[in-house]
Amino acid sequence: MPVYKAEALILRTYKLGEADRIVVFLTRDRGKKRGVAKGARRQRSRFIGGLEPMTRAGVQYYEREQRELVRINFVEPVSCPMAMAFGGEHRDLALGHIGYFAELIDEWAPESHADERLYRLGATVADALAAGAPVERLARYFEYWILRLQGVYPAVTACPGCGAAFDGLAVMPPREHLFVCRRCAPGSNGTTIGREALRFLKAAGAARPDGLASLVLPAAAERELETAHRRLLNLHLEKELKSARVLREMRRPGP
């Protein structure tokens, strides 16, 4: 039985039988795996503290012939954003985002197929989370990059309709999934993003997530990007993620 030791990112777990868990994790070298963590639900389990979403960990596992599920020997956590979030000020928002990041990666990572760039994105975002980066800015950054890695982020420098550079405003018309200039979308009541949002996107293309604190993204621009990204993600995933819906409800102003 081949044994592997992988650098990995924990995405989610679910219950198996009385005492075990199935763990979905993204390895750097062999893509997304599903494995059984024996006894993970027992009180004195050796897996405790290592299986929260977005935990970076060393995972040792072995594969069994003809079985899709691997068997996990141990998980050695390196950093755990969830533990950080529990002590933080905006706990619910942070926890909600951790679940959201993990679900997005899970949706996009193919089974058992290494994707080095997706892994690196997930790992650096996990580190930024653990270091206390602002979660909403981090979410817009992460959405931008995950869409860009799939090659589906629309152009943000020039309008594809007329070729003119965006002059501080771009519109995503209803039912379309690209940004055009105001002249190419006359009278359109689509999703508009302004100068600050465009500037953030250009900077995000060159920045690492641990440098996010220095990027400017005022609240209004952040909301514009949230709406535009939600439309892009829902189109490409053909649904709205559960964790995204929860976050949206959390942010809705109260009565």
* DSSP SS3 for 174: coil
- Least distance from Zn ion to the Cβ atom of residue 180, Å: 5
- Least distance from Zn ion to the Cβ atom of residue 66, Å: 56
Closer residue to Zn ion in complex, CB, 131/184:
184
- Least distance from Zn ion to the Cβ atom of residue 181, Å: 3
| C-alpha span between 83 and 250 (Å, rounded) | 21
Closer residue to Zn ion in complex, CB, 132/190:
190
The closest alpha carbon to 82, from 48, 108, 110, belongs to 48
Q: Which helix (H) or strand (E) holds 158?
A: none
| C-alpha span between 121 and 38 (Å, rounded) | 29
Q: How many residues belong to the site for Zn ion (CB under 5 A)?
A: 5
- Least distance from Zn ion to the Cβ atom of residue 188, Å: 12
Closer residue to Zn ion in complex, CB, 69/184:
184
| C-alpha span between 168 and 67 (Å, rounded) | 54
For the beta carbon of residue 7, count every other beta carbon within 10 angstroms: 15
| CB burial string 221-240: b at 16+ within 10 A, e below | bbebbbebbbbbbeeeeeee
Closer residue to Zn ion in complex, CB, 170/225:
170
Binding mask 166-185 for Zn ion (x = CB under 5 A): ---------------x--x-
Binders in 178-217 for Zn ion, by CB under 5 A: 181, 184
- Least distance from Zn ion to the Cβ atom of residue 166, Å: 9
131 scored as a contact of Zn ion (CB under 5 A): no
Q: How many residues does the chain have?
A: 255
Closer residue to Zn ion in complex, CB, 60/188:
188
For the beta carbon of residue 149, count every other beta carbon within 10 angstroms: 15
- Least distance from Zn ion to the Cβ atom of residue 199, Å: 19
| C-alpha span between 119 and 135 (Å, rounded) | 19
| C-alpha span between 225 and 250 (Å, rounded) | 17
19 scored as a contact of Zn ion (CB under 5 A): no
Binding mask 134-173 for Zn ion (x = CB under 5 A): -------------------------x-xx-----------
Q: Which positions touch Zn ion (CB under 5 A)? A: 159, 161-162, 181, 184
